[in-house]
Structure 1
Amino acid sequence: MSEIFDVQRWKPAPFLPEKETRDGALIFVIAVLCFLACLTAMGVIAADRAAAGWTGQLTGEATVIVRPRGGETPDAAAARAAEALAGTAGVTEARALEPAKAYDLIRPWLGDVSDLEDLPVPRLVAVTLDGRHPATAAQLGAALTSQNIDATVDDHSIWIKDIRRAGGLVRGLGAGIFLLIAAAAGAVIAFATRAGLAARRDVVEVLHLAGAEDGFIARLFQVRFARVAGYAGLLGAIAAMAVGAGLRIAGGGEGLTPALPLAWSDLLAVVPCPLLAALVAATAAQLTAIGLIRTML
């Protein structure tokens, strides 16, 4: 008799159970996608920081190639150029580099030639520019011309443009990967929503006949898959954070590599992942459910 009046036994099952056997595969796929998205975010942030650092260094410096005139030694010409540039507005420091610096720059092209010092190699002058009001290449060239110095000013503008272009390419590539991952996650959720509706077609028809609106039924799928995706996003974010921390520890003070420094603050890029995963899943589930319900009824 007690079994007949057992409330739990006769309690109706929910339209969408909180857990299903198929959830494991769905959670795994979404977690992997979120893991890859988080790694991409950390990589883009590190690359953007590296590009900004390189650009800042090149923007604050200039290199002057000095060629001696007739009757003047290369060292004397470099010294005169450094003196002329040091007094120019927008220049913090100008110093003539040792001849070995110039030899080191051309040695990879000519090889280890024993008489390299006998070649007429121009001297170099390193110029440190004022961070607030840096001198332009035209101003540096005018200062050298006024002292009758034959020199060429390299303000690294070509390298700066290349670095900025590369940084923009990395950011664009990262955005493309994010959109691709979001589309893949949405497709997975849409497939799961279709499968769930197909398995409950009869129940959906009964609910509709009872007066349930399409939006109400769609919200059931929306809430369910948002929870699943949020949980999967949390797992993917934790895994990505663990990998990022491991790379940061393995890289020491340089982060990942000297060219791609990974800071501890970059790990915070994974924080929005669960929320974004739930948002994408909720949107995909709602749109798929509403569209499919209208075709079913």
Structure 2
Amino acid sequence: MTDLTHSGDRILRALRFAVEAVARRRRERPTPIVPSHNVAGRALVTTIAIMTFLASLTVGAVTLVSETAAQWQNDISREITVQIIPREGLDMEAALGAVEQVARETPGVTGAARLDDAATSRLLEPWLGEGLQLSELPVPRLVVIAIDTSEPPNFEALGQRLTEAVPQAELDDHRAWVSRLVAMANAMIITGIGVLVLVLLATALTVVFATRGAMAGNRQIVEVLHFVGARSEFIAAEFQRHFFRLALIGALFGGFGAFVLFWMMGLWTESNQARPEADQISALFGSFSIGWTGYAGTVALVALVAGLTALTSRMTVLRQLASIDMLSPVEN
């Protein structure tokens, strides 16, 4: 009996020595436990690429809407407009001149300029077409007033003075309109963040199932290594390295696809700036460019997806190995 015990100890020590030798050889010449190229790996790369692409679009949209909302709030602090409603017997040129004079005499106003016929016609082209004759249509005329952001004027007093000078004049400070747009933008930002979280969660769940499938496909190798003394961290590191590489490849493809789409959208906007439809888009979203913030967010997202995949794979392997340890005494 004692001889059998000693023989078993010698065999166990030999196996542990073999495992350590294999581990040393793996460090010198990496040979992953999980096959580097298989159908499941290619499917995971494709899935992560799609997920990263969708998440990058979400990041770009959130960045664009956030920057646009900030731009709207900044614009409202710099300019207001006065609208003059045409009436029978009203001298429009004289009314425009009176509004400009009242505005320039008001403290806190840095300038006032009427919107000429060409600019007014351009604003109306998307709805009324080209070649408008403003003298033949009851089209309201606008005066743009630039205000001092550090010391803005009293809008109520300014509106009253304008009404006294030109009864058909209406002051519009855009605050109600912009507040509604900003509220809508904030709702879109919250929705986008929620979508981003769901996409990342779906990616993590996909990695969990892929890791379990890889462990099931290499179950004998994993169990032998585990039972003969290989540390759980060593086995988990092998799976972590494998899935990190797959996730990085897929995330790079998805992020690159988003980059190309962002670039094409910005190029389309710039090439169609002379069209009225593009003017309306530019009025809402500027140049439709996400800027460096959006591109940096996409790069950070690629790193986040790769890191999340590696961490998820590691935790899944450690949990599976812990469950094997719990079941092994019962089986013995």
**TM-score normalised to the size of structure 1?**
0.74
Where in structure 1 are there 5+ consecutive unaligned residues? 1-10
Determine the structure 2 residue equivalent to 1:17: 34
Structure (1/2) with the larger helix percentage: 2
CA RMSD of aligned residues (A): 4.2
Cα deviation code 1:65-107 (max 9, x no counterpart): 5689xx996765554443222111211123466799999999x
Cα deviation code 1:208-258 (max 9, x no counterpart): 333444444333322221121012111222222233333333433569953
CA distance in 1, matches of 2:77, 2:32: 63
Determine the structure 2 residue equivalent to 1:6: none
Determine the structure 2 residue equivalent to 1:8: none
Equivalent residues in 2 for 1:94-243 (5 A)? 94-95=112-113, 124-141=142-159, 143-144=161-162, 150=167, 152-243=170-261
Higher mean alpha-carbon deviation, 122-131 vs 221-230, is at 122-131
Cα deviation code 1:255-291 (max 9, x no counterpart): 9953461266454543224311211102211222222
SS of match in other structure, 1:272: helix
Determine the structure 2 residue equivalent to 1:39: 57
Q: Do structure 1's residue 271 and structure 2's residue 303 form an aligned pair?
A: no
Cα deviation code 1:95-151 (max 9, x no counterpart): 466799999999x79xxxx9x9798x9875432212433324234235547x67655
Gap change, CA 1:186 and 1:84, over 3 Å in 2: same
Q: Is the 8 A contact 1:254 1:261 kept in 2?
A: no
Q: Is the 8 A contact 2:204 2:309 kept in 1?
A: yes
CA distance in 2, matches of 1:272, 1:262: 18
SS of match in other structure, 1:34: helix
CA distance in 1, matches of 2:265, 2:142: 39
Determine the structure 2 residue equivalent to 1:62: 80
Q: Do structure 1's residue 287 and structure 2's residue 305 form an aligned pair?
A: no
Gap change, CA 1:66 and 1:248, over 3 Å in 2: closer
SS of match in other structure, 1:23: helix
**TM-score normalised to the size of structure 2?**
0.67
CA distance in 1, matches of 2:306, 2:118: 60
Q: Is the 8 A contact 1:75 1:123 kept in 2?
A: no
CA distance in 2, matches of 1:284, 1:175: 21
Gap change, CA 1:231 and 1:77, over 3 Å in 2: closer
Query: Offset of 1:44 from its aligned partner?
Result: 3.0
Higher mean alpha-carbon deviation, 232-241 vs 254-263, is at 254-263
Cα deviation code 1:144-196 (max 9, x no counterpart): 47x67655432101111122122212322321222122112111110111112
SS of match in other structure, 2:80: strand
Determine the structure 2 residue equivalent to 1:89: 107
SS of match in other structure, 2:112: strand
Gap change, CA 1:72 and 1:253, over 3 Å in 2: closer
Determine the structure 1 residue equivalent to 2:10: none
Q: Is the 8 A contact 1:82 1:125 kept in 2?
A: yes
SS of match in other structure, 2:36: coil
Between the two proteins, what is the percent identity of the paired residues? 29
Gap change, CA 1:16 and 1:54, over 3 Å in 2: same
CA distance in 2, matches of 1:96, 1:51: 26
Amino acid at match of 2:34: P
Where in structure 2 are there 5+ consecutive unaligned residues? 1-24, 328-332
Gap change, CA 1:245 and 1:198, over 3 Å in 2: same
Aligned length: 285
Gap change, CA 1:128 and 1:185, over 3 Å in 2: same
Q: Is the 8 A contact 2:34 2:238 kept in 1?
A: no
CA distance in 2, matches of 1:47, 1:169: 10
Higher mean alpha-carbon deviation, 192-201 vs 15-24, is at 15-24
Gap change, CA 1:189 and 1:154, over 3 Å in 2: same
CA distance in 2, matches of 1:188, 1:159: 44
Higher mean alpha-carbon deviation, 152-161 vs 234-243, is at 234-243
CA distance in 1, matches of 2:171, 2:77: 13
